[in-house]
Homo-oligomer: A and B are copies of this chain.
Amino acid sequence: MDFKNPLTTVDSVVFTYESGELQVLLVKRNLEPMAGMWALPGGIVDTDQDTDLRATTMRKLIEKTGVAPSYLDQLISVGNATRDPRGWSITVVYSALIAKEACRTPSDAVSSVKWTPVDQLPELAFDHAELIDTALERMKQRALYSITPGYALPEEFTLAELQKLHETLIGKPLQKRSFRRRIQQAGLLIDSGRKRKEGGRPATLYRLSEASRDYNFVRNLEE
């Protein structure tokens, strides 16, 4: 009964949305294997410090971004004989959302952490490119039946911004009326009272209500 226990790690696909594009957080690996390559932020459980897998993930992310992500959700676990050259390994992958401005922005000088547009990813270590694909696919589905992608936005945002984000995820334009109607009916946003001026009529600034974290519409937007 003494099998080789596969090495188990956690990794996070952290998304943010800035200047019209979806970005993902990457770190440069220090250690072998694949030292010097870009990879997802992650690491191994510290059994003395972490109470559970989520704590491990959160701890690693705080090290990289300076703050706790506003949305963190387990995505999938991948374990096989080929993903790590050292042999059988398992990763528990989380998907996270965070407002870019909330982060201690990784400086471009210290180039071991960076945000990268999802359509301009460098070559990545292990199976991390696939993991990002999976996370994107899941997030796209979410955009069809919830407004949780909004956790990638700053604390306050306009409906146009939220819609733009959803359009980016889904990959096609949405009807303004449909998008707003369902959000309003479900009461998912809180009017901050403030407005943002930008060329035309000022837009109302909203915050996500706590309800929006778990709310799923019964009817999807069309794909």
Q: Which residues of A contact B (CB under 8 A)?
A: 1, 3-8, 31, 44-47, 50-53, 74, 76-82, 87-88, 90, 92, 218-220, 222-223
In the complex, how many angstroms separate the beta carbon of A95 from the nearest chain B beta carbon? 13
Compute how far the CA of A222 lies from the CA of B217 in the bound complex, rounded to whole angstroms: 11
The answer to whether B88 and A90 have CB atoms under 8 Å apart is: no
| Tally of this chain's copies | 2
Say which residue of B51, B76, B220 sits within 8 Å of A80 (CB atoms).
B51
Cα separation A5 to B45 with both chains bound (whole Å): 7
Instruction: Give 26 A-B contacts (CB < 8 Å), ordered by A residue.
Output: A1-B31, A3-B44, A3-B46, A5-B7, A5-B45, A6-B8, A6-B45, A6-B47, A8-B8, A8-B79, A8-B90, A45-B88, A45-B90, A47-B87, A47-B88, A50-B81, A51-B81, A52-B78, A52-B80, A53-B78, A53-B80, A53-B90, A79-B92, A90-B92, A92-B92, A218-B220
**A8–B76 CA distance with the chains assembled, in angstroms:** 15
- Of all chain B residues, the one with the shortest Cβ separation from A83 is B52
Nearest Cβ on chain B to A198's Cβ, whole angstroms: 34
A7 surroundings in chain B (CB, below 8 A): 5
B8 and A45: CB pair below 8 A? no
Verify B5–A5 contact, CB threshold 8 A: yes
For the complex formed, measure the closest distance between the CB of A69 and the CB atoms of chain B, giving whole angstroms.
Answer: 18
From residue A8, how far is it (CB to closest CB) to chain B in Å? 5
A45's nearest neighbour on chain B, judged by CB, is B6
CA distance in complex: A3, B79 (Å): 19
CA distance A57 to B71 in the complex (A): 30
Provide the residues of chain B in CB contact with A50, threshold 8 Å: 81
Known: A4-B47, A218-B219. Contact between A77 and B74, CB under 8 A? Answer: yes
